[in-house]
Structure 1
Amino acid sequence: MADNEESPRPSVTRRVCAALALVAALAALGTAIGALARHPVQLVIAVVLVLIAVGAAWAALVGRGARRVFAGVLALVALAGILLLPDLRAFLLMIVVIALCAASGALARIAFAHDLAPDRAGVRVPPARRGVLLINTRSGGGKAARFRLESRARSRGVVPMVLTPGDDLRALAEQAVAAGADVLGMAGGDGSQALVADVARRHGIPFVCVPAGTRNHFALDLGLDRDYVPAALDAFGTAYERRVDLATVDDRVFVNNASLGVYATVVQSPGYRDAKVATIAQRLPELLGPEAVRPDLRFSRPGRGEQPGADVVLVSNGVYRLDHINGFGTRERLDAGRLGIVTVTVDRARDVPALVSAELAGRLHEFHGYRAWTGTEFVVDSGQALVEIGVDGEALRLPPPLRFRILSGALRVRVPLDAPGAAPAALVPHGVFGAVSALFLVLTGRPAHRPNQEEHQAG
C-alpha cells in the first residue's frame, strides 16, 4: 500500500465549512417546516402545480397528436396557476430551501476533503524505460493539440504516435509493443482508452490514461486531473502502479459501461454526439411514448429467474453511483471484481412523469422501476438478429446472446504521484445520516470516517 498514513486533523477552513453546511441544512429544514406551518394550503398547491407542470411537459414531449397538444396546454395552465397564487411567498420559500440544500452540499464537500477516500492501493514504480503515447488529436475537440501533448511527451522522453485518418489504433498499439514499449499510454476518449488498455493487458505491460477526450469517466474514477490534461503524462515518470478491473462484452473490452435498450437506440441516432439533448428529445416520443414497443431484451436475475425485459439495461465495469439514465455516474472502486448491472422498466401509461422527475433530480435510483445488482457474468439474449448497444459511448450492433464478464485486476495502470487519487463517489458518504455524522467529526477536529476495505466490499 502507498499513502497509508493517518489523515491529518481538519483545518480551520474545513471545520468552518462543516459548521456552515450543518447550519444551511438546518436552515433549509426550518424554512420548509415554517413555510408549511404558515402557508400549508398554498405550499401544497404550489408543489402539486409544479409536479403537474413537469409531468405534463414530459407527456407533451413523448406524446403525439392531440395528446401532445393537450399535455402542452396543461403544462402552461399549471405554470400560470403558480404565478396566480395569491401569495407567492410559499413558492419562493421552496426556491430558498433548494438554494440552502445546494449550499449545504457544496460546503460539505469542502469539509470532507479526501478523508473518506480509501487508502491508495499500489506500489511506487520507477520511470518508464521506453514509454509510448498514442494520441488522437480529434478527441475532445482537439485537446491534444491545445495542450501540446506531442511536444510535452517528447520533453519527458516519451515516444508520441499521432493517429491520422484511417489508422488502425489497435495495430499501432501492437506495433509500439513490438518495438519495445514497456509502458503504453493513450490520449483520447474512453473508447480509445479501452482498446489500448486491452493491448497493454494482453502483453502484461502498464497502461497510462491521458484524459484528452470529451468526458473521460475512466480517468475521473482513476482519480486523475481531467482539467489539466498534461498532468497525466507524469505517470510515465516515477508513479504509483495498481491493478484495476476491465469488463468485456463478448471479446470487446470496455472501461466504463455498456448500455442496451432506449439509451443505446438514442446513441445510434445521427447527430447524437454533436447534439445529445436535442437528439434525446427528438427520439423519446417513439422510444418511451404510449405506443412504443419495449426492447426485446431477455436476462435473468440471481434468485429471480428470467425477467420479462426492460427499457434500459446498463452493465458497468464496477458499481456506479448512478444518477442519470445515460449510465454515467462515478465509481468508488475499480478493483472490486464485480460488474454493476442496472435495469430500468417504465410503465408507459403512468411512469414517464416519475421517471423524468427522478432523472432531472439526479436520483434515478429512487425510481420504482429501477433494479440493481452485481455479478461476475451476465447474459442478455434477444430475438433480434442484431442488438443495438452503446459501449463506452460508441454505437454498435452485435449478435445475441451478449455475454458480459469482469476481468478482475486485469490491467496494470500507472497514475502520477500527485494525482488527486480518488473518484468523486469515494469522497461522499452514503446517506443523510452518514453525511451528518461525518460533518460532526470534522467540526470536532477529527477526520471524517474513512470506510475500511470490508465496508467497500459490502457496498
Structure 2
Amino acid sequence: MPRRAAAAVALLCLPAALAVVVWSLIRSPLQLVLGLVLILLAVTAAWTALVHHGVSRLLAAIAALVALAATVALPDIRVVAVIAVLTGLTVLSAATAELAIAHDLTPATTTRAVGPARHGALLMNPWSGGGKVARFELEDKARELGVTPIVLRRGQDLRKLAEQAVADGADVLGMAGGDGSQALVADVARRHGVAFVCVPAGTRNHFALDLGLDRDDVPAALAAFGDALERRVDLALLGDLVFVNNVSLGVYATVVQSGAYRDAKLTTTTQLLPDLLGPQAPGFDLRFTRPDGSAAQAADIVLVSNGAYHLESLRGFGTRGSLDAGVLGVVTVTVDRARDVTALLSAEAAGTLRHFRGYRDWTAREFEIDSGQPLLDVGVDGEALRLPPPLRFRSLPGALRVRVPAGLAGGAAPPTRPAEGFTALWQVLWGRPARRRA
C-alpha cells in the first residue's frame, strides 16, 4: 500500500502542476512569462560570472542579483510562489516515483545463497565520511558479529593490511570507507579469490549505491558477513590500477587536484572555473578514438567508468543499471567556449545532459587516451592523481565476488524515460509489478 500511495502521488503531481500553470496564466500571463525570463537571465548571468575573471565577473554577478531582485519585486508576488510550487511538485513527483517503482525496476542479477564467513575481516578507514566508522561504532559491531576489525592507523598501508588479513586466514574481506579504499581492498580480494563486503562508510559510496545497499544505514551492510547473497561483478583497470566506479579527466579532475578542494569545494571550483571553461581557457589536450573510428583531439570532460552510467547530469555521476555487463562506459563532453557554456548549464540544470550537442557516450571493453602533456590530472574513484599518458583502460568482467545482505533485491534502478515511468507508475497503482520485461 505505501508503494501504491506513492505511485498515486507521483501521478497526481502532473495534473496538479498543469493546473497551477493554467491558473497562473489566466490570472497574470505576462508576469508568469516575465518571471521565467528573469530567472533564465539570472541563471545565465550567474554562470557567466563563474567562468570570467575581474570586472566581467563582477558585472555578471550584479546582473544575476538584479534579475533575481526583479523577479521577487514583480507586482504579483504569486508568480514567485507559482515557480516555487512547480519546483516542489517536480521534486515530490521524482521522490515518490522512485519509492513506488525502484524496487520493481531494479535489474535482476545472478546470485547464490552463501553461509556465514568462517573468518571475516573488516578493514576500516576512520577518517572516511567525516568519521563514520566511529559514529556508527563499526568496530564494536564487527566484533559482535565475530568479524575481526582492522582499523587503519596513520602511516599504515591499507593494501598491506588487507594482504596480511588474507595471510591470517580471512575468507571474506570487508572495507568500511570511501570508494578509493573499496577499490584497493576489492583488488586484494580479487587477486586471492576471496569474497568482498562493501560497507558504505565514505562520503558518496557510488559502488554501494549500485550494489543496492542503503548508504544511510551503514551498519546494515555488516550483515553480509552472515548468511548472505553472493554475486560476481566487474572491476576495471587503468594501467595496473583497479577502480570500482570511474576515472575522470578534464575539468573535474583538474579541480580536485587543488589542495583546498576537499575543505572548500564550492570556493575552489568558483576560483578555477574561469581558467578551465572561460572564453580564454585553452581547453584540454585529450586525444582518443570515437566508436566510429574518428579521432578526437580535445574534450573538456572525459569519464571512463566500470560499467555504463545513465547520466542526465554531471552531479554525482548518475547510476549504473548493471555491474556485470563486462564493459567500460565512456562519456565525453566538449564545450565550444563561445556558444556552448550557457547551453551546457541549461542542460545540466534541466537534467537533460544527454541532449547537449557536445555530449557523447558509448561502451567498450578497452579504451585509450593520449596527450601531448607529460602528466595528466586524473580523478580515480574520487582520488586525485597525476599520471603520464597514454592511459589504457580495460574491463575485468566478473572479477570480484561480492556479498550483500540476504534479501537485497540487486543493483540500483536506472532512471526511466517519461513514458516508461508513467506506465510503471500506473502498473504499481493498480497493484501490478512494474518490472520491465527481459
Q: Same fold (TM over 0.5)?
A: yes
Question: After superposition, where does 1:305-384 map in structure 2 within 5 Å?
Answer: 305-325=294-314, 328-384=317-373
Distance in 2 separating the partners of 1:188 and 1:57: 36
Residues 234 and 416, structure 1, Cα contact 8 Å, conserved in 2: yes
Which TM-score applies when normalising by structure 1?
A: 0.90
Question: Which deviates more, 255-264 or 169-178?
Answer: 169-178
Residue from 395, 409, 430 that aligns with 1:444: 430
1:232 aligns with 2:221: yes
Question: After superposition, where does 1:179-258 map in structure 2 within 5 Å?
Answer: 179-258=168-247
**CA distances 1:369-396 after superposition (whole Å, capped 9, x unpaired):** 2211111111100001111100001000
Distance in 1 separating the partners of 2:433 and 2:384: 44
- Residue 115 of structure 1 and its aligned partner are, at CA, apart by 1.6
Distance in 1 separating the partners of 2:6 and 2:270: 39
- Residue 78 of structure 1 and its aligned partner are, at CA, apart by 2.1
Distance in 1 separating the partners of 2:281 and 2:394: 31
Partner of 2:16: 27
What secondary structure does 1:253 align onto?
strand
**CA distances 1:298-356 after superposition (whole Å, capped 9, x unpaired):** 01111141013111101111111224335522112111111111111112122222222
What secondary structure does 2:165 align onto?
helix
Distance in 2 separating the partners of 1:113 and 1:248: 30
Residues 325 and 359, structure 1, Cα contact 8 Å, conserved in 2: yes
Q: How high is the sequence identity, in percent, across the aligned residues? A: 63
What secondary structure does 1:115 align onto?
helix
Question: Which deviates more, 152-161 or 190-199?
Answer: 152-161
Partner of 2:108: 119
- Residue 124 of structure 1 and its aligned partner are, at CA, apart by 0.4
Distance in 1 separating the partners of 2:437 and 2:362: 21
Which TM-score applies when normalising by structure 2?
A: 0.95
1:56 aligns with 2:45: yes
- Residue 449 of structure 1 and its aligned partner are, at CA, apart by 3.1
RMSD in angstroms over aligned alpha carbons? 1.9
- Residue 120 of structure 1 and its aligned partner are, at CA, apart by 4.0
Partner of 2:406: 417
**CA distances 1:398-438 after superposition (whole Å, capped 9, x unpaired):** 11000111111110111111446431x34x4x211011111
Question: Which deviates more, 79-88 or 430-439?
Answer: 79-88
What secondary structure does 1:70 align onto?
helix
Partner of 2:154: 165
Counterpart amino acid of 1:438? Answer: A
Distance in 2 separating the partners of 1:349 and 1:78: 23
Residue from 271, 287, 307 that aligns with 1:282: 271
Distance in 1 separating the partners of 2:335 and 2:306: 25
- Residue 448 of structure 1 and its aligned partner are, at CA, apart by 1.3
Distance in 2 separating the partners of 1:236 and 1:195: 19
Partner of 1:108: 97
What secondary structure does 1:42 align onto?
helix
Partner of 1:4: none
1:143 aligns with 2:132: yes
Counterpart amino acid of 1:65? Answer: G
1:435 aligns with 2:424: no
Question: Which deviates more, 285-294 or 112-121?
Answer: 112-121
Structure 2, unaligned stretches of length 5 or more?
Answer: none
What secondary structure does 2:242 align onto?
strand
What secondary structure does 1:290 align onto?
coil
Partner of 2:388: 399
Partner of 1:8: none
Distance in 2 separating the partners of 1:265 and 1:105: 32
What secondary structure does 2:103 align onto?
coil
What secondary structure does 2:329 align onto?
strand
Counterpart amino acid of 2:425? Answer: L
What secondary structure does 1:315 align onto?
strand
- Residue 34 of structure 1 and its aligned partner are, at CA, apart by 4.4
- Residue 138 of structure 1 and its aligned partner are, at CA, apart by 1.6
Distance in 1 separating the partners of 2:367 and 2:316: 17
The 3 A distance-change label for structure 1 pair 400 and 326 is farther
Residues 257 and 392, structure 1, Cα contact 8 Å, conserved in 2: yes
Residues 299 and 334, structure 2, Cα contact 8 Å, conserved in 1: yes
Which contiguous aligned blocks of 4+ residues in structure 1 show a shift greater than 4 angstroms?
Answer: none
